[in-house]
Structure 1
C-alpha cells in the first residue's frame, strides 16, 4: 500500500511519500536508543512541562489538524476538532497525574517483616523505545493515548502510523518537537507494514503497542512472543447495545444512533449489535430506523454532515460484502443497504434485522454505518446473544433495574460495561478488551504502567 493522502470524498491522491529506507530507519533507531539514555533521567516535572506545552500547541492547531484528518480519512470535521481537543485533554491529564501514578510504593512493614529486609519498595522504571503501530480511524487519539503516558513514564516512542494518514503522522512528530521534547523522544517512521517485523525484532525496541485489525495483531504478537517483548493489543470490536423494557426508550434510541455512526461507524467501540427485549423491540426498531434515515450523509468538511465517506475503497467493498451476504441469507433491510452512485467511498446508514448465526456479519466486525438488530426473549437470551461474538471490547446496557445491571456487569464478556450510556474512552479510565479484541490496557494508571519495569527494591538490615 502506498504511503499517501487519498481524499475519500473523491478518491483523488493529494500527496505521496517515499517510504524511509533502511539507512534512515537505522538512524532513527540509533537516535531513539541514544535519547532514551538521557530522557529516562528527566524529572516528572520536566516531562509534565513539555507535555503541557504540546497540549497548548495542539489546541492552537485544532482547526488546521482537524482539516488534515478529514482530508486524509473522511472524518466529519466537527468530530475531528473534538478528537484534537480530547488529545490535548489526555496530555494534560497525564502531565498532572503521572508522578502520583508512578510514585514509589512501600509495602506495609508487617507484610514483609519475614523477608529479611529493613526496607522494601516498588519502583516503576521506563523500558526504552516503544514501537506503536497505529490505525487511521482516530489518527490523533490512538497515538496520543499511547504517547502521553509513555513519554511521562520516561520511554521514547517510534510511530508506524497507517499508510493513508502520513500528514497526521508527520504532524505528531513535529508537535512533540515544537513542544521542546528532546530530538528522538517521538519519531514517525514512514514505512510500510512489511518493515514492522524487522523493527520489532531489533533489540533496541523494548516493547510494542498495536491498535488495528486482528490479523495485524496476530502478526505483531507472534513476533513479540518470539522475541519475548511486552505488547498491548487493541483489536476489533462488535459491541452489543442491549435494551431492556425498563429503559428510557427515547434516550436509548437517540444514543443508539450516535453510538453506531460515530466516526462514520469506523470505530472499534462503536455499538454494532443492537439486542432488544421483545417487549420493546418493535418500538425501538421503528425509532432507531427513523433516526438512522434522518442522518445527513455528505461532504465531511460540511459542518452539518453526520456521516462522511468511508476511509478507503476497500473498506467500503468489505462492508458491502457483509451486508450483501446477510441479505442473501435472509436478513431484512430496514433502511440503506445499497451502494450509492457518484464519486467517493460513501455507504448509507443501514439497519439489518433478522440476523442469524450463519451470516458473516454475526461473527465479523462491520466497520461502517451498518447496524444489526436482534430480538431477545429475556435477559438470559440477551446475555447469550451479546456474548456470542469472538470480540469483547466493550458493551452498552440500557435498563433501570439494578438486578439486571448486576447481572450484565457480572456476565458480559467485555472490557467495559456502560450502563445507560454509550461507550467512550477517557484518560482516567482503563481501556481494552478480552477475547479477540486483544489484551492489556491503555489509559489510566493501568495504561501508564504497561510499559514500565516494575522493580522490587530490597534493602538488607
Structure 2
C-alpha cells in the first residue's frame, strides 16, 4: 500500500511517503507511554488551556488545511473549510465541559450505607495509549472527534490515518504539538494497514478506536478481542430517508439532495435509501430528481462546485459495480448527470438516482459510497419501517413526518443509532454518535464519547 497524496481531481501523485520503520514506530510508542505517565496527572485546567490553544491555531490555519484536505481527498473547498471550523468548535466544547462530564459520581447516601460503606463514589481515570485508525472521508473531523475527548480525559493518542491523506495526518500531529501538548500526547504513525495488528497487540496500547469499513472493523475487533482490549467501532451505514404524507415534501426533497451528496456522497451518515410513501412519492421524486439533475460538478477548489471527484479510483470502481449490478437486474435510471468535459483524468462519478430497487440487487444491502441514491415506494408506515430496517447496517436515519404517533413509532422501532426528524443527520459534540448492527458499537462525542476510554473506577471505604 502506497502512502501518498494523490489529487483525486487529476489522478496525479503529488507526494509520497516511506512507511515508518519498526524502529521509528517503537520510538513513538515508547514516547507515548512516557508522556502518559506525566500527562495523566495534569489537571483539567491545564488540558483545557492546551485544547483552546489548538482550536485557535486551527482557526488560523483554516484556509491552508482546507486546501490540503481538498487536494488529498477531493471534497469541495467550502465543505473543507466547514470541517475545519467544526473541529475547532469540538475542541472548545470538550475543553469547557470535560470537568463536568468526568466529575466524580456519588451514589445516594442510602445506597452507600446499604453497600456497607461509610462513603463510596465513582471516578473516571484515563486508560493510557489509545490507537486511532481513521478514514479519509473526513480526514480532520474523524480524528478530532476522537482526540479532543481522549486528550481531555488524560489519555494520549496514536493516529494511523488512511494512506491517501498523509499530509493531513502529519498536520494534526504538528497542530497539537504546536499548541503546547507534550510531544507524545498525539503522534501520527505513517504505517501500512498490515502493520496495525502489531501496534494493537503491543501491551503498551490500552485501547483502539476505528472509523472505516466493515472489513477493517472486523479485523481490528478480532485482534483487540484476542488481546482483551477496549474498542469503539464506527463502520458503514446505509441510512434511510423516510418521507411520510404529513411531510413538507418540497423541503424534504431539497434536504435529501444535500443529505445524499454531502462530501461527494462519501459519508457514513449520508442518506442513501429514500423511502417515500406512495401518497407523496411522485411529488417527491420529481422534486428530488430535478434538484439532483441541477447539481454542479466540477473542480473542488472552485467555490461554486457542489460535487467533486470520488477520493480513490478503487472507490469509483466499486460504486460503478453496484450500479451496474442494479441495472442488470432491472433498476431504472431516474437521473444520471453527465460529467463535464475538461475536468481531467480524476475519479469523477455522476450523481445518479435509481428506482425499481429489489432485494436481489447488491445496492439494496451494500453501502453505496458516492453520489448514488436509491428510491423506494412505500405503501404505508409499516412498509416504510420494514424497508428502513431491511439493511445490515444501523448508523442513523432521517424521517419526515409531523405526526407525533409516527415519530414515536420510529423512535421505538427503527434499528439505528439515531433518528433525525424533518432534517438530515449531522454530528455535534453534544450528541452521542454511533450505530448498531454492522455499523459498529460504542459511541463518540458527548459525555458518552469521553467516557469510552476511561477506567470507570469504584471507590469504597468502610
**Taking structure 2 as the reference length, what is the TM-score of the superposition?**
0.99
Stretch deviating more after TM superposition (333-342 or 415-424):
333-342
Match of 2:380 among 378, 401, 405: 378
Return the alpha-carbon distance in structure 1 between the equivalents of residues 389 and 428 of structure 2: 24
Residues 209-239 of structure 1 deviation map (CA, whole Å, 9 limit, x = unaligned): 0000000000000000000000000000000
Deviation at 1:111, TM superposition (A): 1.2
Q: Is residue 112–residue 118 contact of structure 2 (8 Å, CA) maintained in 1?
A: no
Aligned to 2:361: 359
CA contact (8 A) 2:281 2:377 kept: yes
How far apart, CA to CA, are the structure 2 residues paired with 1:68 and 1:115?
56
Quickly say closer, same or farther: Cα 1:24–1:317, change in 2 above 3 A: same
* Worse-matched range after superposition: 107-116 or 152-161: 107-116
Deviation at 1:459, TM superposition (A): 1.0
**Distance in 1 separating the partners of 2:345 and 2:233:** 35
Q: Any runs of at least 4 consecutive aligned residues in structure 1 with deviations exceeding 4 A, and if so which?
A: 337-342
Is the 2:298–2:340 Cα contact (8 Å) retained in structure 1?
A: no
The Cα RMSD (Å) is 0.9
Q: Which runs of 5+ in 1 are unaligned?
A: none
Following superposition, the deviation at residue 17 of structure 1 comes to 0.4
| TM-score, length basis structure 1 | 0.99
Where does residue 457 of structure 2 map in the other structure?
Answer: 455
Pairwise CA distance, 1:338: 7.4
Contact 1:340 1:348 in 2 (8 A): no
Kept in 2, the 8 Å contact 1:340–1:346? The answer is no
Residue 340 of structure 1: how far off its partner (Å): 7.5
Q: Deviations over 1:413-459 (max 9, x none)?
A: 00000000000000000000000000000000000000000000011
Contact 1:151-1:157 at 8 Å conserved across structures: yes
Partner of 2:390: 388
Answer whether contact 2:5 2:167 (CA < 8 A) is retained.
yes
Q: Distance in 1 between matches of 2:340 and 2:326?
A: 18
Say if 2:36 is the partner of 1:36. Answer: yes
Distance of 1:333 and 1:347 partners within structure 2: 15
Give the whole-Å Cα distance in 2 for the aligned partners of 1:413 and 1:221: 22
Structure 2 unaligned segments of length 5 or more: list them: none
Do the aligned partners of 2:297 and 2:340 also contact (CA within 8 Å) in 1?
A: no
Distance (Å, rounded) in 2 between the aligned partners of 1:287 and 1:258: 13
Does the CA contact (< 8 Å) of 2:399 and 2:420 recur in 1? Answer: yes
Instruction: State the number of aligned residues.
Output: 460
Question: What's the offset of the Cα at 1:339?
Answer: 7.6
Asked whether the equivalents of residues 320 and 339 of structure 1 are also in contact (C-alpha less than 8 Å), the reply is no
Spell out, residue by residue over 1:274-302, the C-alpha distance to the aligned partner (whole angstroms, 9 max, x if none): 00000000111111000001000010000
Deviation at 1:116, TM superposition (A): 1.7
Which string of whole-angstrom CA distances, capped at 9 and with x for unpartnered residues, describes residues 106-127 of structure 1? Answer: 1011012122211001000000
- 2:401 is matched with which residue? 399
Structure 1 residue matching 2:279: 3-state secondary structure: helix
